[in-house]
Amino acid sequence: MPTTTEANQPLDSELPKAEGSKTILFITGAFVTNTGWDEWKAYFESKGYKTFAPPWPYKDATAAELRSRQPDAELATLRFDELVDYFADYTSKLPEKPILIGHSTGGLIAQLLLQRGLGVSAVAYHSVPPKGVLSSKFSFIKSVTPAFGPFKSADKTYLMSLKQWQYAFTNGMTEEEQQLTYDENTVPESRRVARGAIGKAAKINFKEPHAPLLFVSGSEDHIIPASLNKKNFKKYQDENSVLVYQEFEGRNHFAMGQATWKEDADFILDWIANPRELDTELSTASTH
């Protein structure tokens, strides 16, 4: 169940009527394949949505095949700004302006695409924060430092070890679940993407109006602590834009693949159907 919700809810008269969309673009995060969205796609399609979850450039293969390419010289060339432009181009070719749902680095990309006016709304799910929003928590620093590899060459990709996966993504799960999810999901990653996600290509103008935006975090997330998502949420300043923060108890960074994923999906489904209203029976809303 949700633990806390905060919201900036403008009056209906303060914004034009919200655009409707039955198209969802799922944006995958770093270190994993896009197949992690398979259950989410099936769920939202059963609710009448058309869904898309494209692989990143150089990642259109199974997790096992991608790991066999480590170090992946082609993937190592990918930059964060190129990745954002790739999803912007993909979005522009969809049949209608989509709802953006992004996990981790995908959550940051969703925020950036929303800033470009490419989504009717967005869900930043355990999102990497934009430029200038950081955390001093030990779990954050321990989790992200290996991927940045400050003394490593950017010409070689980074592959998370099982031990790192257990700490950064799947803490609290059984060893069997951790091994299974590692085998099914983890892939090499471009250090240029990781480093670029804290640079100018990741800058958000927090003062500008934006389409409805929902932040979803988890109390047990090591790599992107709930406090960091809350900090990201608090940076947005336009009081006439719909902005909601939701924290779920017991969720690690791999929340999309935890046994409780459907509770998160249910909440997101209700929100995207009417982003200006909160279910006050689930949680208490307060002004941003």
pLDDT tens-place string over residues 132-177: 999 999 999 999 999 999 999 999 999 999 999 999 999 999 999 9
Domain boundaries, the chain: 2-273
pLDDT tens-place string over residues 166-193: 999 999 999 999 999 999 999 999 999 9
Under the banding of pLDDT at 50, 70 and 90, the label for residue 10 is: low
Query: Cα–Cα distance between 130 and 163 in angstroms, integer?
Result: 27
For residue 7, the model assigns a pLDDT of 76
**Predicted confidence (pLDDT) at residue 279 exceeds the cutoff of 60:** no
Query: Cα–Cα distance between 108 and 271 in angstroms, integer?
Result: 19
**Predicted confidence (pLDDT) at residue 65 exceeds the cutoff of 50:** yes
CA atoms within 13 A on the CB side of 200: 0
Closest listed residue to residue 106, CA positions, set 212, 9, 32: 32
**Predicted confidence (pLDDT) at residue 283 exceeds the cutoff of 60:** no
In the numeric block, the tokens 């923060």 are attached to 245
What is the pLDDT averaged over residues 67-73? Answer: 99
Residues 6+ apart with CB under 8 A from 261: 39, 40, 255
For residue 277, the model assigns a pLDDT of 65
What is the pLDDT averaged over residues 82-102? Answer: 99
Q: What is the mean pLDDT of the chain?
A: 93
Closest listed residue to residue 267, CA positions, set 255, 278, 252: 278
For residue 276, the model assigns a pLDDT of 76
CATH superfamily for domain 2-273: Alpha/Beta hydrolase fold, catalytic domain (3.40.50.1820)
Predicted model pTM: 0.93
For residue 278, the model assigns a pLDDT of 59
**Predicted confidence (pLDDT) at residue 280 exceeds the cutoff of 50:** no
> What whole-number percentage of the chain has pLDDT above 70?
91
**38 token code pair:** 């398979």
pLDDT tens-place string over residues 48-63: 999 999 999 999 999 9
